[in-house]
Every structure is written in C-alpha cells, then in structure tokens.
Structure 1
C-alpha cells in the first residue's frame, strides 16, 4: 500500500515537473503572450488620446489634415532590410533632419531628442531607419542629436534637459526622449504625444517583449513640452548608467501625473547590441533622496556650455560641455 502511494506521489511530481518545463518553454518561445499584464491603450483608443499640436509654420498650412487611422489600424511591420539599408527618397528631408508631409497638413509636431557620445555605428543605423520610419507616419518631426563633448561620465538626463530647451525654442510642443540604440518595429506607435506621458518601448526584444516592471519609464518616452517643464525636467546629477529613468518616473508620480502605454503589438522595439555602459555607483542613493530635490534639481538648475550647433542633412547636432 505504501509503495503504491509513493508511486502515485512520484507520478504526480513527475507530471508537475513536466508541466512546469512545458510552460517555461512556451514562455521562452512565445513571450508576447505574457506582455499584457499591464494597463495599456487598445488600438481603437489611440487616436483620440493623441494631442494635436503643431508649430506655427505647420499651422499656417492650408491643406486637408493628414489621416492617421489607417496607420494605427494597419500597424505595419517595418523592421526590414529595405528600411535598414539606406535612406529612401532623402530629398524629402529638410536640412537639420526635419520633415513634414507635402500632400496633407500634419496634426503633430515632434522633437526627437537623442543623447549621444561615441556611438557612430548605432547612430548611422538609427538615422537611416528612423527617417524611413517616421516619414511613413505623416507627422512633422525634427531629430536633435545632443552630444556630450567633454570627458566627464555620460549624463543622459542632462542631455535630455538641454535638448528640451532647444526644442522649445523652435516651438516643438512634443518631446520624444529617445535612446540611439532602440528602433520601433511597428508603424502604429505614432511618434506624437498623448494626454499622459507615454512609455513607448514596453515590449523590448531583450526582455522577450515583456515589461520587466510597471514603473519602468525609459528607453523611449513621449512627453509634452509643458509637462516636462512642469515637473522641472530630469535630474542633472545622474552621471553614468542607471537611475535617472526611475527618478524621472518618481517626479511624475510626485506631481500626480500618471503614465500610459500602447498595447504590446504597437510597442515592440529592438535594441542594437552594444557594450554595456559603466554603472553609476551613486544611483541608489540619489534615487532614495531624489524627492528632496525635485523642485531644485532639473531645468531650473541646468548649466552647460554649447560648443557648436551644426545643421546636418539628417539631424541637428548640438555639441555641449556638461
């Protein structure tokens, strides 16, 4: 009798182990099935959440407004060889990396702000792909490359702050804070601002297209210029890798500003592989005490020296010392 009970227990344990292994295999092979554990906007909700706001030169256009419903509905997969190999129809792009459609009036003006230092190969891939991608969205955009020109530890958040000021000078009402190593894979992720600040790359390939934690708010973020000013931008103190995105999220929460995301099928991004950055050893301490500095550390305490401003064919290049 005891032998039969032991055999049955062994059989049940074996079934449990096999089931767990099968679920693990499914999780690894089909990660997108597990990317819906967070709140997000469904496809039919996206268009009404996008904030229509353009610069004065676009608002003066007297053409029919561009349509975006088909772009969102089709959500075309764009990460292909054609978009990655060369800039298509480059004559459409204005100097400084600016573009707006000529056959309709865009409803959105967006500044793409990219912090940068010594990533030539990634920058080359980013510019080719993003110009091919963004022009398909019928938006008005301009790419700003903010390059740290000194030998201090890389200060990503401070470069975003600098970029936001320059973009605001050119009247851009929407900011996309964009890492140079991330590329969107579907066209339905419209590069325009929503009512709430938006985390855009919530389904990233290196995380098996899942969201690691709900408070993650980095990589690619859309936020209205006025909202960015309202929260005093990002901290200027995070030198090296890590911490600044969590501090940014905490700033929003302290001002009772919620974030949003599009559904996983719109939010798939791929990361261009690169050598890991040196970590910021003080990031945890800065995070713990961040709430004490939200009102004093940010746009209102920003200091930098602009060394040069270059207008390239594919981007506006701002060289700064931090």
Structure 2
C-alpha cells in the first residue's frame, strides 16, 4: 500500500507535468497563430494602400496644400485663330482735341509698360511696333488712342516702342528705326517689326499688323493721296518685316538726314536680296494722315538722290552693323516704351 501510494503520487506528478507542457504548447501555438493573423489583418493590402494613397491625395487637393500644383494638369492655351473674331473692319476715327493721355491709359488698362498679349489664346506672332519721334506729342496721342485697341482686336502679342531723337540735330528717321530694332531685341525675340510713322492712323483692323513670307507694305492708300498708292515703288509710312528679313538687308541706311529717300533705299535693299514687296488689298490698307506742317529740323534731304545711287555699293557696311548711338534713357510708360537716344549729327 505504501508502494502503491508512492507510485500513484509519481504518476499524478507526471500527469500534471504532461498536462502543463501540453497546455503551454497549445498556448504557444495559439499565440503564434493569432499574432500572425492580427498582423495580417492589420497590414493593408496593395488595393487598400492604393485607396489610402488616393484618399490622401484627394484630401491634399481639397485642403489646398502645395502638392495641389502637381496634381492638377494645366489646360494648354489654344492658338489664336487666323482671323480674329474681334475684328470690326473699317472704323470711324476720332481726333478729339480734348483727348488726354490719361483717358487713353484708362481705356487700355490691359496694356502694361507698352506691352499686351491676349488672355484667351496664344498669339500667332509677337510684334514690335517702332515709332520714330520728336516733338509730335499730339500725333503720338492720336496714334496710341487708335492703335492699341486696333492691335488688341487682332489678338496680337505686341509692344509699342517710341524712339525719341534727343537734341536739335537734323531728324534721322532711318537711324532711329535701326535703334528701335536693336533696343527692342534686348527685351524680347520679336518675330515681326512694324516701322510706323507717327502721323499715319490705320482705318481698317482687317489690315493685319503681322509679317509675311515677304516684306510687307501696309499703306496702299491714305487720305492725303486720295487713297491711291503714292507711287509705284513706294515703301514708306508703315512697313512690316520679319526679324530675319530686316537683318538680311542690314536694316536702314544711317546716312539719310532730313526728309526723304530712306524708304526707297530700303526698297532697293529688299530687291537686292531677291525679296518681293507684298501689299494687302487696297480697300483694307487705308490710312488717315494727321496733317501738319513740315517740322523744323526735318527739311527735305537734298542729297537723297545721290545717296540712292550708292545703295548697291554701301548697303553691306551702312546699316544695322554700323549703327552707333548713345542710349540716354529707357522709360517704360503705361502705353509705350520710350527710348531716348543721341544718334549724333550729319
């Protein structure tokens, strides 16, 4: 009985140890299984990650964080149509004596420092308007009043440069236009240049201020000539040339001091380069010339015919490549860039 009692006790102890080990093993196995399941349940799947990422990006977009810029693809601006829907055709010109510069500025408040570009489309050409000037403030005011809305209706990217000749020396229109070309290119790589007299105002906005494959003469007729071409080879008043075309002919001659001859010289240069002058239809290319007396310091150039006979000999060395001047100031006014220069004397 003592032996049985001792043996029974030992068996019970072994049983208890076995049960304990079995219980510990089950607990350990269960712990491992449930832990992996929890991790698996807590770990997001690839699809869940995508949803979370998308929701996060959407939240950032809605909250206006800096990442919004990267999320939104800007809509490209379309190119302006070949014919602007804003064109009016022939317009009635107004030369009101009481007109003030401030009024013109207010009416053209989208022009900044003489420059404008359409907001609804990308302009087909970038155009620099070059106006040689001295002591013609009233003419300039009338031209700016009509020209800015005229160009805006054509949906152009443009800038107006007024090149002022300082001092009292004889006026040199050609050299001032060379200066305007060189100075404008310091601002922007303009596609097209319009060489524009200050006293000529366009009457029809379908006379497009853009450059063509050939140099273009925009003044077919004006009121002073009964709206007929001044003469067969006339290439003055308002002309349009691409940047490369003007560079190819070496610009204007710098030697024409006083009135006359420089536009015929430019025509000869164009013809020497085998280019052909083109013109818009006569019913579109009409201008009103604001009448005035001949300026003091811009008398008729008596040497113009002698200079014209030498054009074929000197055009390569007299022009843009020999244009020397001193820039006195560049003032970026609301309606135009005013470039004042000393171009020397005859």
**If the length of structure 2 is used for normalisation, what is the TM-score?**
0.72
* Cα separation, partners in 2 of 1:230 and 1:222, compared to 1, 3 Å: same
Aligned match of 2:338: 317
1:8-157 equivalences under 5 Å are 62-70=76-84, 76-81=89-94, 86-87=103-104, 89-95=107-113, 97-157=114-174
Q: Is the 8 A contact 2:126 2:158 kept in 1?
A: yes
- Equivalent of residue 278 in structure 1, options 299, 308, 313: 299
Q: Is the 8 A contact 1:122 1:181 kept in 2?
A: yes
Matches of 1:93 and 1:117, distance apart in 2:
23
Give, in angstroms, the shift of residue 79 of structure 1.
3.1
1:253-292 equivalences under 5 Å are 253-276=271-294, 277-292=298-313
Aligned match of 1:224: 242
Could you say what secondary structure the match of 1:91 adopts?
Answer: coil
Counting matched residue pairs gives 261
Give, in angstroms, the shift of residue 61 of structure 1.
9.4
RMSD: 2.0
Give, in angstroms, the shift of residue 131 of structure 1.
1.0
Bigger RCO (CA 8 Å, 6+ sep)? 1
Q: Given the alignment of the two structures, is residue 249 of structure 1 paired with residue 262 of structure 2, yes or no?
A: no
Matches of 2:279 and 2:85, distance apart in 1:
17
Could you say what secondary structure the match of 1:123 adopts?
Answer: helix
* Cα separation, partners in 2 of 1:149 and 1:92, compared to 1, 3 Å: same
Q: Given the alignment of the two structures, is residue 164 of structure 1 paired with residue 185 of structure 2, yes or no?
A: no
Give, in angstroms, the shift of residue 104 of structure 1.
1.3
Matches of 1:305 and 1:119, distance apart in 2:
22
Matches of 1:61 and 1:142, distance apart in 2:
26
Q: Is the 8 A contact 2:130 2:177 kept in 1?
A: yes
What are the Cα deviations for residues 120-175 of structure 1, in whole angstroms up to 9, with x where unaligned? 11111111111121111111100000000022110000001011111222211100
- Equivalent of residue 296 in structure 1, options 301, 312, 317: 317
Aligned match of 2:12: none
- Note the residue ranges of structure 1 that are not aligned, 5 or more in a row: 1-59
Worse overlay, 269-278 or 256-265: 269-278
